[in-house]
Structure 1
């Protein structure tokens, strides 16, 4: 089998594994493997192919890391595009001893926790953020 075919098969395998696992970094490595295939088609030797794959794939991973880090650096409660529940109003009837409350929101019962760690009483509360499967609330 030709070197280019091996590189294309590796790139395809990386894309398939990325689709199964959702690890976007594998897609970046797949781009590097495609660069190795193009280097093989250009007639470079095995070391040139490996260098091309490593530089392109590694560069793509590093670039994506910094782009992803910069784009999603805001806390979830400040970015309402990421947290659509922020700002919604719910009614808290009672707090349990473990500082949680059962509130009705979006047609189901949610576990809620107070934003400061200590309940501020019953009544209307605003959803500050979603922490796992719990609503973090602050008193209105």
Structure 2
């Protein structure tokens, strides 16, 4: 069996393992193995093929970690506007109770509204910043 065939088989096995586990880093290792296969197609010796596979695999993993590290941290689901379409909507609060809550009609039902900690209760428009169960956490709009 040619060296390149061995590298391509290892690449396929690694990709299959990635599909079973869902780990992005196995794809980076598979990329390194594909580089080893290309080195074998170029007729390079086995130590150079292994070195090429290792260098490309490690650099790919490092690049992937660097890109993932630069991403902004994800918000919790209760405050993520991509997951919860109520985030950013405005609601009218006519009056606040003494405990800092209010009951308002919103989307066809009664919701409990709570101010963001540190905010002063005032009647008027408020923007939803988070949804916790059936409670809307709001801030003055």
The offset of 1:74, in angstroms, is 4.5
- CA–CA distance in 2 between the matches of 1:136 and 1:25? 39
Maintained 8 Å contact 1:36/1:50: yes
Task: Summarize the Cα distance change of 1:138–1:56 in structure 2 as closer, same or farther, 3 Å threshold.
Answer: same
Q: Unmatched 5+ residue regions in structure 2? A: 92-105, 108-113
TM-score norm. by structure 2 comes to 0.59
- Alignment match, 1:55: 55
2:129 aligns with 128
Contact 1:128 1:135 in 2 (8 A): no
Aligned to 2:11: 11
Report the counterpart of residue 25 of structure 1 in structure 2: 25
Look at both structures and tell me which one has the larger radius of gyration over its CA atoms: 2
Q: Take 2:18 and 2:134, find their aligned partners in 1: how far apart are those partners?
A: 29
Aligned length: 127
2: distance between equivalents of 1:63 and 1:45?
Answer: 27
User: How far 1:88 moved relative to its partner?
Assistant: 4.2
The answer for unaligned runs of 5 or more in structure 1 is 91-103, 106-112
Structure 1 residue 76 corresponds to structure 2 residue 62: no
Match of residue 99 from structure 2: none
Q: Quickly say closer, same or farther: Cα 1:5–1:87, change in 2 above 3 A.
A: same
- Note closer, same or farther for the CA distance 1:138–1:27 as it changes in structure 2 (3 Å cut): same
Q: 8 Å contact 1:125–1:139 — kept in the other structure?
A: yes
Q: Is the 8 A contact 2:81 2:88 kept in 1?
A: no
Paired position in structure 1 for 2:66: 66
Alignment RMSD, CA only?
4.6
| CA drift at 1:6 | 1.2
* Aligned mates of 2:134, 2:47 — CA distance in 1: 52
